[in-house]
Amino acid sequence: MQADKDRITKLLKTARGQMDGLLKMVEEDRYCVDISNQLMATQAILKKVNAEILHDHLNHCVHGAFGTEEQSEKISEIIMIMDKLTK
């Protein structure tokens, strides 16, 4: 992985902290809308991390595979990821 590991790690740790907070909110029977807002905030961080990793993958792994035997495989991987993202 070529992405900024420090940034990715920080974002994932933030998301993990938010998940811990969500569990606590559920255990405390907090207001549903507050829980939902926290869920959306956590999802936004995870989407951001995924976008950064995929962006980096395209710029390094896929770009580097052009003109090699791995080209078709890398393109197929991206197509599968895009299919999952659009579901």
Contact, 45 vs 15, CB < 8 A? yes
CB atoms within 10 A of CB 17: 12
- Reported as type and span, the H/E element at residue 68 is none
Looking at CATH, the fold of the domain delimited by 5-85 is given as Methane Monooxygenase Hydroxylase; Chain G, domain 1 (1.20.58)
Cα distance between residue 8 and residue 27, in whole Å? 29
| Structure confidence by residue, pLDDT tens digits, 26-57 | 999 999 999 999 999 999 999 999 999 999 98
pTM > 0.85: yes or no: no
Longest Cα pair distance anywhere in the chain, in angstroms? 56
Contact, 57 vs 70, CB < 8 A? no
Domain-by-domain residue ranges, the chain? 5-85
Measured in whole angstroms, the distance separating CA 3 from the mean position of its chain's CA atoms is: 12
